[in-house]
Amino acid sequence: MKYQKKKFINNTKKDNRREAGELITATYRAFLLIGIMALRDEFGFGTSRLQRFIDRVNDVYDSYERGYISLKDMTGTIENETGINVLRLEHRKELQHDDSKRISASGKEARYDDKQ
């Protein structure tokens, strides 16, 4: 058996930006899906209200991306208007997961198939 040297990938700034963009997109999608599931399951949101939620989240995100608002602005607004300090939010239970199942904060098991 021949010994093969490992090839190191020399990522360029362009590659790094692309990979960061993919990570941001995946994180955003996960956040949006979590919100949609919570609104649907807990509050009975239907198609119309969920679509309005998605549209509004996308509008706020667009404003953030364009630099019109900052995370600091949003954090301050939410705290001033609701008393919720987003920076101090914590999980009440540790979340446990592996590749095939997640345990929600309520302790209920939920299975997800992330492969698409």
Q: Could you read off the pLDDT of 70-89 as tens digits, one per residue?
A: 999 999 999 999 999 887 76
d(CA 16, CA 24): 12
Type of residue at 55? D
**What pLDDT shows up at residue 9?**
60
**What pLDDT shows up at residue 2?**
61
Structural domain boundaries of the chain?
16-69
Which residue in this structure is represented by tokens 């300090």? Answer: 85
**What pLDDT shows up at residue 37?**
98
Closest CA to 35 of 109, 98, 43: 43
Q: Could you read off the pLDDT of 30-70 as tens digits, one per residue?
A: 999 999 999 999 999 999 999 999 999 999 999 999 999 99
What is the four-CA torsion angle of 46, 52, 58, 60, rounded to 10 degrees? -130
